[in-house]
Structure 1
């Protein structure tokens, strides 16, 4: 019969080797969980029991196949993680590998220290001495790692500019992960226990993990800095659009003043036509005068100042390029979407539509914009004339066979849609390229 204290030892180790690292891995995406917090916690509890069961099987019933239990444990951990978080695959993989590398180091360092302090117990599996030292090592490693995750890494994964970089960044922690397994299995015939007890290996892994930590920190800082620069550029762009709106308004005011100033001259001339009964000349003059009046077209597309500034800016661009610009938008002044996100979302999609229309030949070039909100969602549809061939590159980014600029900014749009739990889709139908975005408004 298995002693109770051994069961407790193995269960404690299994939990120490699972829960702290799962918490770290989930923290950056706590607002993007696929399930509710309650359901997620319940699943983690179930997986914790699975981990303890696998530990007991590896210790007492595996018959020398403990590696199989480790593989199953890792598979359960990975499958749950990718199901639990709704984020870019590369971003989730980067996070998982980064945390896994740290977990591997904690286990190796704990076993090495146990071998120095409790040499007799260290050669046995899952003893209380191992869990005790692991708890101390966790306290030393986990706290600064959590601070890094909270202060530096989480802002990077929440506000990254495009998401493209995460398709490749995961290769960095993957490389460190391979180094770890190379150290574990390419050890000149030594068992994994002997490798872990070797102080030289532990020191080597320490330097590897410190170097990896510096690399992770630099990556997160660069992404945050890049995001700040893009935000600054977007703000400058928005200010330029607002300035154009102001200039258009000033121009209309000046036109109205000129018309008011000249009105008495027009009245005098029309009175002269009436006195002389020159009605045909009067009619011609009235038609000419009507055409000379200032444009009284509505200069506001919607109540939201940010969106209106973007639409007004591209309305002027479309007018200069002789592109039909049809807008119907109902967006209130106050909406639970960040102003910069609104500017990037509308700006990128309308700019892409405008650029696409510039490449089209003929007179039937048009941009159709429809936008509306309700209590829970923001719906946006932007269609533009498009007679080219729509393709995707190997990474799934849209591009056109007719011009190079198509698809620029689409990754930013996808990132914003993901941020608000929404969707982005695009298709070509009846010689129109149709972009659609749905955002869930946070209350």
Structure 2
């Protein structure tokens, strides 16, 4: 019974590894955790038991079975998440790297136990005590990592500002995996020679500590970069508010000057009327009406939204692009203002850039926003565009860079994270974006 239990225990470490990988991505599951666990856990557990029995019957190493089950688990893991492959793959590789270090340490512990108990040298698996040690350390690691992985790591995964770093970080856990594979001796007797075992234990512990330290540094760096990116976004909003304030000051000055000149203008109108010069009166009125500033001072009660809309309205007027805003938003909104302003900024920036590339007579930007059922914010932005819209697998491609539009991806992510949705459509030369944010 003990002999058949050893390979099963060695393979069963896939279970805590899979659980650990799911901790930071719980909000990205394609189905409920209960249904997912009911489908995956019995499958993986069955494969571990069956693989262990086969290895016992064949008296073979569990390396091939462990590699196969691990690759299958990674495939199931990445396939059950609504998240980029870079993020899910990097998380899976990181967990594999940590468990590979524990595997090397457990291998050394197994040899030490075998030497102490004077067990045969040709055992194909870890001894039973080493298998128990292997599983206990893995489960302790899962319990220890529960809080940071469901808090700090989850925030890092959900933040798009750190997305580019995922493209390179996967190299680090891959290096540690290969190092641990390279350390595995071809024969167990190698570890029993001289002081090789002591060195193997020291190197295994050093690799494990070094990997955990690198992961902690990466997490701290991610937190710092995300905080800086958040501050940059807030500074951008403050800049928009400053620009909005300057525009309001200029408009107020124009109104003050117009009021100051009102008496002179009325006297001139009275003189033209007394002389009966209707043509002169008409010409004078047309000239002064054209000088009346089109202020558009106030768009809605919410100051943050008003600043963003005012900023892009000024940019649109500078480019002679008709800008129509219909906003019905109260001063306080149930939506996170930073995310809301990011969505508005991305939508209006895309609309502005598209309108600049459109014929003068077709240029227009229309934005509508209002609250629905007190907790839903509905935003719709429509603009004309004469260029070619590229679409792949239902996702609009960026015209400024290779790949998908970063702005559109950011909008979709913010909408989904709030529990809302977003749709984009291009038809008859008009691009329409609709976003729903939930409070």
Shorter-normalised TM-score: what interval?
Answer: 0.7 to 0.9
| Cα deviation digits, residues 255-296 of structure 1 (max 9, x gap) | 444444444444444455555555555444444443333425
TM superposition score normalised by structure 2: 0.79
Asked if the contact 2:15–2:41 (Cα under 8 Å) also holds between the matched residues in 1, the reply is no
Asked if the contact 2:346–2:411 (Cα under 8 Å) also holds between the matched residues in 1, the reply is yes
Alignment correspondent of 1:207: 206
Q: Does 1:161 align with 2:161?
A: yes
Q: Does 1:85 align with 2:84?
A: no
2:349 is matched with which residue: 340, 345, 351? 351
Distance (Å, rounded) in 2 between the aligned partners of 1:147 and 1:138: 16
Q: For structure 1, which segment, 153-162 or 97-106, has the greater mean C-alpha deviation from structure 2 after superposition?
A: 153-162
Question: Relative to structure 1, is the Cα distance of residues 149 and 315 closer, same or farther in structure 2, using a 3 angstrom cutoff?
Answer: same
Question: Relative to structure 1, is the Cα distance of residues 324 and 113 closer, same or farther in structure 2, using a 3 angstrom cutoff?
Answer: same
Q: Does 1:340 align with 2:338?
A: yes
Distance (Å, rounded) in 2 between the aligned partners of 1:335 and 1:39: 35
* Deviation of 1:89 (Å): 0.8
* Deviation of 1:221 (Å): 2.9
Distance (Å, rounded) in 2 between the aligned partners of 1:192 and 1:264: 106
Asked if the contact 2:378–2:436 (Cα under 8 Å) also holds between the matched residues in 1, the reply is yes
Distance (Å, rounded) in 1 between the aligned partners of 2:330 and 2:39: 40
| Cα deviation digits, residues 346-390 of structure 1 (max 9, x gap) | 223322332344455655433343445545765545454544455
Alignment of 1:146-225 (within 5 A): 146=146, 148-150=148-150, 152-161=152-161, 163-184=163-184, 187=185, 189-190=186-187, 198-225=197-224
Distance (Å, rounded) in 1 between the aligned partners of 2:177 and 2:47: 21
Alignment correspondent of 1:57: 53
TM superposition score normalised by structure 1: 0.78
1:99 is matched with which residue: 95, 98, 101? 95
Question: Relative to structure 1, is the Cα distance of residues 82 and 407 closer, same or farther in structure 2, using a 3 angstrom cutoff?
Answer: closer
Asked if the contact 2:97–2:176 (Cα under 8 Å) also holds between the matched residues in 1, the reply is yes
Q: For structure 1, which segment, 232-241 or 158-167, has the greater mean C-alpha deviation from structure 2 after superposition?
A: 158-167
**Structure 1: gaps of 5 or more residues:** none
SS at match of 2:323: strand
Distance (Å, rounded) in 2 between the aligned partners of 1:35 and 1:126: 37
